[in-house]
Amino acid sequence: MPDMADAQDPSKALSALGRYAGPATLILSSLAGGEKHGYALTRDVETFAGVRLAPGTLYEALGRLEAQGLIEAMPPQDRRRPYRLTAVGAAVLGEHLADQRRVVEVGLERLSGSGVIA
């Protein structure tokens, strides 16, 4: 499991999640819009990304994100436990999305230069 030191370094935090980096990005992006419980997270991710997170994937990723200090569980509300993004989580997400933006821009630029897309 990733250690807390990785959560303090935005360049390492999501990469330390390995195969959970994709779900982690989706969850952090959802929580950037405000606190949500598991079902609300699943619905939000489906809405903005077209991806359905299976319950096992969702709760495994939530556990890892909480262990890294990127999110925190709030007191239960009507048998549901909402989560919210921490300041460290917001910094990690911002850095990760900026890195991904660079990848997207390079990929699109190279595709347009190849004549594959306009």
Mean of the per-residue pLDDT values of the chain: 87
Segment 105-115, tens digit of pLDDT: 999 899 988 76
Q: What is the pLDDT of residue 11?
A: 56
Q: Which domain holds residue 94?
A: 4-114
| Residue 65, token pair as written in the block | 């994100």
CATH of the domain at 64: 1.10.10.10
Number of structural domains, the chain? Answer: 1
Count Cβ atoms below 10 Å from residue 11 Cβ, excluding itself. Answer: 11
> What spatial distance separates the first Cα and last Cα of the chain, rounded to whole Å?
43
Q: Read off the pTM.
A: 0.82
Contact 104, 60 (CB under 8 A): no
Instruction: State the Cα–Cα distance between residues 21 and 17, nearest whole angstrom.
Output: 5
For 41, the 3-state DSSP assignment is helix
- For residue 117, the 8-state DSSP code is -
